[in-house]
Amino acid sequence: MDLTAHMDRLVSALDPAGRGDISESVKDAVRAVPRHQFIPDVGLVRDDDGEQCLIDREADPDAWYEAVYSRHAIVTQLDDGRTPLTALKGDYTSSASQPGTVADLLHHLQAEPGMRVLEVGTGTGWTAALLSHLVGNQGEVTSIEVDAAVAEQAAKNLSDAGFHPRLVVGDGALGCADGEPYDRVHVTCGIRAIPYAWVEQCRPGGVIVLPWRPGFGVGHCLRLEVGTDGTAQGRVVDFAEYMWMREQRPASDETPPGERRQYWTALDPRAFDQINAGVDLTVSALTGIVTTTNSGADEDGEWWRMWLSDPDVPRSWAAVTCRPGSMIAVQQVGDRPLWDEVLLAYARWVSWGEPSWRDFGVTVTPEGQQVWLNRPDNVLSNQGA
């Protein structure tokens, strides 16, 4: 196993387009912290074709190392540990994130030597090690993990690799007050409602970087700067897909009881993947709807479905189902016509000139968060804490 070649390939994969978006300090950290020291012997990977496969270090070490030093995320836990990885099915609940996404967030964080950093979501410990390389290895990094088993393995990984962040088992939404004030807060799980505790625990002028999943469509990287007035404010700066923080996971795509109303729609929900992601942020801000997607096959053939739910009213839901050669079916239950609201929000986005995802930002206050377009006083929605 040629570790140097693997590391060079991984660093090259951080910026495949050669845009120069990743700082040299982050690249140096990736070179200095071998990823394989933080990956379990057995993991799940989706290859370039989207196919899920098991990697096993003992059974095929070459394939294992190839996967570890690829651009892919490696799933390390299913169903909060209730399902073994060898089952090859279940909800992904912990992983070693895509190296390119890890590097993107660290680039936006701009962590420097001597800074105090709070990391929310220890996971395998690789990012905590990268942060320790960036800012210092004498306790400058505090990392909090909600899952005790995951935290225990991360502690072993970090110790074996020679890194010594302060590790805490607890609810990351609460932060870690006895380590404040932090210069940086780095979040490694998907967030819909941004906890104000992170703002409270970060010094004025400090930076919070998090994977923001406002509900509809793709996830984004949000960079906030903490002000002297006790608020934090910033813009969407990139894309970032991370697993949900446990307490903010959307409802599953099970169908609660209720009278179903069915009709047909002309807008294919799969088109949202091809449109400027500003439409996703518009729909999220104007409706608060949360979506998931899945696909499969039954006696009528293959299907693809978007599931829409109201996080505050679980009995209101909608399902938009696409089948080859068929009209697109909508089923809705509850008082809110969720798909109708999506269509209206889409129309408003078009009427505004189809703004880009780069035009959106967020302000976090003790009362909650405001989503705005172009400038902070052009508020699209107020979301309570």
Q: Which residues are catalytic?
A: 97
How are the residues of the chain apportioned to helix, strand and coil, as percentages rounded to the nearest 5? 30, 30, 35
CA 40 to chain centre: 21
Residue 13: both structure tokens together: 């994969």
CA distance 137 to 18: 30
Residue 81: both structure tokens together: 């540990």
**303: β partners:** 296
Please list, in sequence order, all residues whose beta carbon lies within 8 angstroms of the beta carbon of residue 20, skipping any fewer than 6 positions away: none
Burial class (CB in 10 A: 0-12, 13-18, 19+), 361: buried
Q: Are 137 and 60 in contact (CB under 8 A)?
A: no
